[in-house]
């Protein structure tokens, strides 16, 4: 090797090392990641839907990364405590969060969803479904809107309390349809379902999974889903958009976040492996069976989703006087 070639090779090596240093890595770290277990924080207690999704993904992700992915349930303040823990964690790829849409709705969060996190992967969505007792007369969204306008305040719609997306899905429907519907908040989906089955409330805004059994059994009727396309597990149920309210959408989106400043090379590795896990037949079928829609979106897809969905719901909350953020 000539001196010129040696000097050029040395210069390139320095540049490569500097580039990696700018990413927060030394030349060995990018190749060695991960070298120890990764913590995936679920900002809710064990047993809920977000926890179930995390535990569904963890074994496959552990296998692909060659390190154990450990689920840590850190509930409290509606998800604030767990999300804040990850926002303040070292940006090294070893502390992640699996979260749903709506974290920007939580008061006194102590983090900025865009500034304090790096989107890694958009996993799936869980659309809102508009359900009614089997004997409820309106059959379509257009029928519901027509009745609400003809007889204001005669239709009651049940949902879970704010700041849940379920609640704001009902408020969004009411606003976009210019329909005078009374919204009733229930402390949980079980109470709402009981009142739907008993005919004490006319409509329910809920995620698909808790309603599937009663829809299949004929006790409840699915009028429409809040996704922009039909839900695989309910292929005969139209979207709200196609059933009478163009432009409407209401879905929980689930994704993995890392602390802001996590090196792009690590984010890219995590995104690649997560997408591979989600795209397996086993995982896709499990998500679909629970009423979800698999997405396996890139970091860019997830960033665009956050930029679209979070302001949509937080702006609605502020317009209703339900947010101090």
Q: What is the mean pLDDT of residues 88-100?
A: 97
Q: How many domains does one find in the chain? A: 2
Does the pLDDT at position 301 exceed 50? yes
Q: Work out the angle at residue 269's Cα, subtended by the Cα atoms of residues 33 and 257, and round it to the nearest 5 degrees.
A: 100
Would you place residue 82 in the very low, low, confident or very high pLDDT band (cuts 50, 70, 90)? very high
User: ω into residue 34 within 30 of 0, thus cis?
Assistant: yes
Structure tokens at 132: 């009614």
2 found inside a domain: no
Lowest mean per-residue pLDDT among 18-22, 48-52, 127-131, 258-262: 18-22
Structure tokens at 48: 């809920």
Could you give phi then psi for residue 64, rounded to 5 degrees? -75, -35
Do 304 and 293 lie in a common domain? yes
257 found inside a domain: yes
3-state SS, one letter per residue, for the chain? CCHHHHHHHHHHHHHHHHHHHHCCCCCCHHHHCCCCCEEEEECCCCCCHHHHHHHHHHHHHHHHHCCCEEEEECCCHHHHHHHHHHHCCCCCCCEEEEEECCHHHCCCCCCCCCCCEEEEEEEEEEEEEEEEECCCCCCCHHHHHHHHHHCCCCCEEEECCCCCHHHHHHHHHHHHHCCCCEEEECCCHHHHHHHHHCCCCCEEEEEHHHHHHHHHCCCEEEEEECCCCCCCCCCCCCECCCCCCCCCCCEEEEEEEEECCCCHHHHHHHHHHHHHHHCCHHHHHHHHHCCCEEEEECHHHHHHHHHHHHHHHHHHHHHCCCCCC
pLDDT at 30: 54
pLDDT at 127: 96
pLDDT at 31: 73
pLDDT at 91: 97
- CATH number of the domain that residue 116 is part of: 3.40.190.150
Tokens 């602390």 — which residue? 259
pLDDT at 324: 47
pLDDT at 323: 61
Could you report the per-residue pLDDT of 214-232, keeping only the tens digit for each?
Answer: 999 999 999 999 999 999 9
Do 188 and 220 lie in a common domain? yes
Do 213 and 294 lie in a common domain? no
Do 263 and 241 lie in a common domain? no
4 found inside a domain: no
Lowest mean per-residue pLDDT among 242-251, 259-268, 273-282, 311-320: 311-320
7 found inside a domain: no
- 321 forms beta bridges with none
User: ω into residue 99 within 30 of 0, thus cis?
Assistant: no
Does the pLDDT at position 87 exceed 60? yes
Do 227 and 163 lie in a common domain? yes
Residue 224: CB partners within 8 Å, gap ≥ 6? 129, 130, 140, 141, 237, 238, 239, 240, 242, 243, 244
pLDDT at 132: 98
Do 55 and 105 lie in a common domain? yes
Do 108 and 160 lie in a common domain? no
pLDDT at 29: 58
pLDDT at 134: 94
Do 163 and 185 lie in a common domain? yes
Domain that holds residue 158: 126-251
Do 62 and 162 lie in a common domain? no
263 found inside a domain: yes
Could you report the per-residue pLDDT of 70-80, keeping only the tens digit for each?
Answer: 999 998 888 88
pLDDT at 15: 33
Q: Which residue, of 251, 267, 283, is where some domain finishes?
A: 251
- 154 forms beta bridges with none
Could you report the per-residue pLDDT of 132-171, keeping only the tens digit for each?
Answer: 999 999 999 999 999 999 999 999 999 999 889 999 999 9
176 found inside a domain: yes
Do 222 and 247 lie in a common domain? yes
217 found inside a domain: yes
Does the pLDDT at position 241 exceed 90? yes
pLDDT at 224: 98
270 found inside a domain: yes
Do 244 and 132 lie in a common domain? yes
Q: Which residue, of 228, 251, 274, is where some domain finishes?
A: 251
Q: Answer whether 0.85 is exceeded by the pTM.
A: yes
Do 93 and 80 lie in a common domain? yes
Could you report the per-residue pLDDT of 13-71, keeping only the tens digit for each?
Answer: 333 333 444 444 443 355 789 999 999 999 999 998 999 999 999 999 999 999 999 99
Would you place residue 8 in the very low, low, confident or very high pLDDT band (cuts 50, 70, 90)? very low
Q: Do 34 and 66 contact (CB within 8 A), yes or no?
A: yes
Q: Which residue, of 251, 280, 302, is where some domain finishes?
A: 251
- CATH number of the domain that residue 246 is part of: 3.40.190.10
Q: How many CB atoms lie within 10 A of CB 108?
A: 8
């Amino acid at each position: 090797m000539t001196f010129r070639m040696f000097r050029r090779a040395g210069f390139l090596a320095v540049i490569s090392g500097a580039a990696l240093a700018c990413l927060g890595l030394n030349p060995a770290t990018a190749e060695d990641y991960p070298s120890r277990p990764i913590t995936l924080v679920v900002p809710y207690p064990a047993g809920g839907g977000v926890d179930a999704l995390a535990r569904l993904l963890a074994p496959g992700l552990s296998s692909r990364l060659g390190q154990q992915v450990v689920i840590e349930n850190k509930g409290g303040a509606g998800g604030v405590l767990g999300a804040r823990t990850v926002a303040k964690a070292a940006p090294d790829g070893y502390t992640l969060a699996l979260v749903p849409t709506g974290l920007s709705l939580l008061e006194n969060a102590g983090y900025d969803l865009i500034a304090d996190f790096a989107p890694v992967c958009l996993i799936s969505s869980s659309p809102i479904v508009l359900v009614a007792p089997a004997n409820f007369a309106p059959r379509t969204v257009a029928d519901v809107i027509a009745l609400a306008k003809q007889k204001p305040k005669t239709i009651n719609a049940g949902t879970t309390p704010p700041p849940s997306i379920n609640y704001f899905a009902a408020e969004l429907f009411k606003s976009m349809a210019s329909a005078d519907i009374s919204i009733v908040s229930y402390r949980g989906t079980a109470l709402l379902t009981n009142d739907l089955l008993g005919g004490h409330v006319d409509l329910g805004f809920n995620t698909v999974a808790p309603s599937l059994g009663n829809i299949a059994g004929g006790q409840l009727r699915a009028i429409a889903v809040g996704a922009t396309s039909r839900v695989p597990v309910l292929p005969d149920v139209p979207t709200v958009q196609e059933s009478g309210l163009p432009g409407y959408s209401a879905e929980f989106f689930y994704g993995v976040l890392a602390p802001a400043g996590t090196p792009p090379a690590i984010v890219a590795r995590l995104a690649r492996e997560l997408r591979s896990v989600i795209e397996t037949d086993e995982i896709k079928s499990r998500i679909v069976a629970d009423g979800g829609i698999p997405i396996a979106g890139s970091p860019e897809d997830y960033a665009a989703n956050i930029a679209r969905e979070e302001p949509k719901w937080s702006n609605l909350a502020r317009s209703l006087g339900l947010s101090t953020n």
